[in-house]
Amino acid sequence: MSLFFMNFLNGVSLGMLLFLISIGLTIIFGVLGVLNFAHGSLYMLGAYFCFQFVSLSHNFLGALLLAPLFVALIGGVIEGTLLRPVYGRDVSFQLLLTFGVLLVLDDAVRLIWGSGYHIVDPPAFLGGVVRLAGFTYPVYSLFILFIGPMIGLGLWGFFRLTLWGKKIRAASMDREMAAGIGIDVNRLFTGVFMFGAWLAGVGGTLAAPLRAIGPSMGEKIIIESFIVVVIGGLGSFPGAFLGAMILGLINAYGAQYLPKATMALPYILLAIILLTKPRGLLSKES
Amino acid sequence: MNGGVTKRSVGLVAAALAVLVVLPFVVGTYFTMFVTEIMIMGIFALSFNLLFGYTGLLSFGHAAFFGVGGYMAAFLLIHGFPSLPLALLLGTLAAGLAAVVVGYFSVRLDEIYFAILTLGFGMMFYTLVHQWRSVTGGSDGLTGLVLPPLGIGGFQVDVSSPRAFYFIVAFFFIVTILVLSRIVASSFGLILMSIRENKERTAFTGINIRAYRLASFVVSGLFAGIAGGLFAVFDRMASPSMLHWTASAEPVLMTVLGGAHVFFGPVVGAVLFFVIEHVITQFTDIWMIFLGGILIPLVIFFPEGVLGTLLARRRGKRFKGSGGDKA
């Protein structure tokens, strides 16, 4: 029973990280219409920036503040210089373009930090373990469990209550109409892309003490995030949450009950959902 | 793209054939193997482009069929199967069968959903060969292929030398070009292109879109299977990385490099891909950054690829700038 409970915690905390990354991916798709292949690499950059900052200053909270901002800046440069010329093009071409960005970012990381793995220790006040239902559980994972919903709640408030949030939702529903009523779509696009990149950076920074930081971490997470946003419904906010939780729990319980098939489960789920509900579980269009 | 048979094109084909035949006798073993690999990946990229360039479907799981072809051939050859051509044929058929199953489901979807679903199916095959240790060797793959001699007209030819294998690959390369260029020039190919340009209008003419897409998918999978079988023999092994989604990205990159809307675009792309890799890896192992650095401006400024842009320039047409592409 308690193993079941442990796996629940593991699944939800993995889901929280996936949610942070996927929400950026799905916002960018919803507003800009671009499926950003390089989004996992932005997450990876967040982790590397966190590693760099912590090894210089030994201040994790500072890293949590700064690393995502740097990622957001890089996102702004990518959107302004590379994506802007191809908005009118076919989605496949945007996918290829952002794949090019992925290649560049992944290898840039190899050039700067090498191909080896790096580790970031959680900050002292979040280190160590607690006893839960007869098991020991890392405090840092509990911190993720706590901060994930906080960020989710903050995003919900941002989109529902603030002017910018409303503009973004308006633009994701109808770009032309949003431009028509006086929303500066160019600035909005840059802002949204930077915001999505920032969220990926936050995800990467938070993941840094949990996972080994290496040049392939973006490649792995981007496929998982694609699955999350597609099963939830591309562009759907609650869909990203639902998808992330499903995928997190599948990973955790799969490892317990179906260890041999756990690698394939997300892909099987993806295929089943795409074939039965082609636009995802919680899509806006039917 | 595949205009009439002119004197000029006959001359070009003859010259290309002559170069292919003479090449391994002029250059060393290393370069022979280099060109062999380019031809194998050229077959793979050509097969992919039947789907992408001609049918308008971006598959991000094409490595599945490459891998199935490779694993089938490798599995037979490490268990003492007596015939190389038959092993390659069975590998091709296995890939075709896999393509029937994957294609049956995938061709219902469009654009990005098609790309993601094929990526998902591709990764299912990847996890299958990764986990099914007793048959596929798991993460180690299948190693130690034994190549039986090839009987040609009463002669027993040892195919394990790089030069002999070069000619086998060249044979399949030419066959692939002949068959695929026939297909895209046929009425079947025209229907595929009309599906690419406008699915709804094509459907209104009474054409079963799904059936045509599936046919294109399966033909594409068959040729990817040939390439995979040849690659496994070339490497003397089949490994799970053949099926990973990053392997699916390679024919995509080659095709975009060369140009998706000209028949030989993927081949030119394969040549460029390997030459770039070859040149850069002389200095550093980190070469994908350069590939990405080439891919990005290519997608932005030359969406028709290197060969496509050159041919368009020669025809005197103004290069279509941004927004003109429908791939």
**SS3 annotation, chain B:** CCCCCCHHHHHHHHHHHHHHHHHHHHCCHHHHHHHHHHHHHHHHHHHHHHHHHHCCCCCCCCHHHHHHHHHHHHHHHHCCCCCHHHHHHHHHHHHHHHHHHHHHHHCCCCHHHHHHHHHHHHHHHHHHHHHCHHHHCHHHCEECCCCCCEEECCEEECCCCHHHHHHHHHHHHHHHHHHHHHHHHCHHHHHHHHHHHCHHHHHHCCCCHHHHHHHHHHHHHHHHHHHHHHHHHHHCEECHHHCCHHHHHHHHHHHHHHCCCCCCHHHHHHHHHHHHHHHHHCCCCCCHHHHHHHHHHHHHHCCCHHHHHHHHHHCCCCCCCCCCCCC
Query: A32 or B315, which is more confident?
Result: A32
Indicate the domain borders of chain B: 36-241
Suggest the residue from A29, A86, A97 to mutate for an interface test with chain B (most B CBs closer than 10 A). A97
What's the CA gap between B199 and B239, in Å, rounded? 38
- In this prediction, residue B44 has a pLDDT band, given cuts at 50, 70 and 90, of very high
Suggest the residue from B110, B116, B287 to mutate for an interface test with chain A (most A CBs closer than 10 A). B116
Our CA-based measurement puts residue A257 at a distance from the nearest CA of chain B, in whole angstroms, of 16
Q: What is the model's pLDDT at position B217? A: 96
- The alpha-carbon radius of gyration of chain B (Å, integer) is 20
Contacts across the A-B interface (CB distance below 8 Å):
120
pLDDT of B265 above 60: yes
- Partners of residue B113 in chain A, C-beta under 8 Å: 230, 274, 278
Q: Which chain A residue shows the shortest CA-CA distance from B132?
A: A260
Which residues are registered as beta bridge partners of B152?
B155
- Partners of residue A96 in chain B, C-beta under 8 Å: 252, 256, 295, 299
- In this prediction, residue A8 has a pLDDT band, given cuts at 50, 70 and 90, of confident
Q: What is the model's pLDDT at position A43? A: 95
Q: What is the model's pLDDT at position A147? A: 87
- Partners of residue A82 in chain B, C-beta under 8 Å: 296, 300
CA B18 to chain centroid, in Å, comes to: 23
Identify the contact set of chain A against chain B, taking CB-CB distances under 8 A: 35, 82, 85-86, 88-93, 95-97, 99-104, 106-108, 110-111, 219, 223, 226-227, 230, 234, 260-261, 263-264, 267-268, 270-271, 274-275, 278
Q: Poorest-confidence range of A190-194, A245-249, B77-81?
A: B77-81
Task: Write the residue in A92, A223, A275 that is nearest to B105 by C-beta.
Answer: A275
Q: What is the model's pLDDT at position B323? A: 42
* Contact flag B295-A264 (C-beta cutoff 8 Å): no
Q: What is the model's pLDDT at position B316? A: 67
Our CA-based measurement puts residue B138 at a distance from the nearest CA of chain A, in whole angstroms, of 12
pLDDT of B2 above 50: no
- Partners of residue A113 in chain B, C-beta under 8 Å: none
CA A141 to chain centroid, in Å, comes to: 17
Q: What is the model's pLDDT at position A216? A: 84
* Contact flag B131-A260 (C-beta cutoff 8 Å): yes
* Contact flag A96-B252 (C-beta cutoff 8 Å): yes
Rounded mean pLDDT of A128-137?
Answer: 76
Q: Poorest-confidence range of A170-174, B185-189, B218-222, B248-252?
A: A170-174
Identify the contact set of chain B against chain A, taking CB-CB distances under 8 A: 58, 105, 108-109, 111-113, 115-117, 119-121, 123-124, 127-128, 130-131, 245-246, 249, 252, 256, 286-289, 291-293, 295-296, 299-300, 303, 322-323, 325-327
pLDDT of A20 above 80: yes
Q: What is the model's pLDDT at position A212? A: 83
To the nearest whole number, what is the mean pLDDT of chain B?
A: 86
Quote the percentage of chain A above a pLDDT of 90. 23
Quote the percentage of chain B above a pLDDT of 90. 43
Q: Which chain A residue shows the shortest CA-CA distance from B53?
A: A92
**pLDDT digits over B286-321, tens only?**
778 888 888 888 888 887 888 888 888 877 654 444
Angle B98-B113-B198 (CA atoms, 0-180°, nearest 5)? 95
- Partners of residue A106 in chain B, C-beta under 8 Å: 288-289
Rounded mean pLDDT of B272-280?
Answer: 86
Q: Number of C-alpha atoms within 13 angstroms, CB side, residue A105?
A: 28
- Partners of residue A274 in chain B, C-beta under 8 Å: 109, 113, 116-117, 120
CA A138 to chain centroid, in Å, comes to: 22
- Partners of residue A226 in chain B, C-beta under 8 Å: 116, 119
Task: Write the residue in A82, A92, A106 that is nearest to B115 by C-beta.
Answer: A92
- The alpha-carbon radius of gyration of chain A (Å, integer) is 19
Our CA-based measurement puts residue B107 at a distance from the nearest CA of chain A, in whole angstroms, of 11
Task: Write the residue in A100, A263, A268 that is nearest to B299 by C-beta.
Answer: A100
- In this prediction, residue B171 has a pLDDT band, given cuts at 50, 70 and 90, of very high
- Partners of residue B299 in chain A, C-beta under 8 Å: 86, 93, 96-97, 100
pLDDT of A156 above 90: no
pLDDT of B325 above 50: no
Q: Tokens 């390089």 map to which residue? A: A38
**Nearest C-alpha neighbor of A92 from the set B131, B184, B56:** B56
Q: Name B172's Cβ contacts closer than 8 Å, sequence gap at least 6.
A: B39, B43, B88, B226, B230
pTM surpassing 0.90? no
**Nearest C-alpha neighbor of A129 from the set A120, A121, A140:** A140
Q: What is the model's pLDDT at position A1? A: 52
- Partners of residue A261 in chain B, C-beta under 8 Å: 131
**pLDDT digits over B100-122, tens only?**
999 999 998 888 889 889 999 99
Task: Write the residue in B116, B127, B288 that is nearest to A264 by C-beta.
Answer: B127
Task: Write the residue in B249, B256, B296 that is nearest to A82 by C-beta.
Answer: B296
- Partners of residue B326 in chain A, C-beta under 8 Å: 90
Rounded mean pLDDT of B183-212?
Answer: 90
Task: Write the residue in B113, B119, B295 that is nearest to A103 by C-beta.
Answer: B295
Q: Poorest-confidence range of A100-109, A158-167, B296-305?
A: B296-305
- In this prediction, residue B134 has a pLDDT band, given cuts at 50, 70 and 90, of confident
Q: What is the model's pLDDT at position B327? A: 41
ipTM given for this complex: 0.85
Q: What phi-psi label fits residue A114: left (phi over 0), alpha (psi between -120 and 50 degrees) or beta? A: left
**pLDDT digits over A45-78, tens only?**
999 999 999 888 888 888 889 999 999 999 999 9
**pLDDT digits over A70-104, tens only?**
999 999 999 988 888 888 777 777 888 898 899 89
Indicate the domain borders of chain A: 2-216
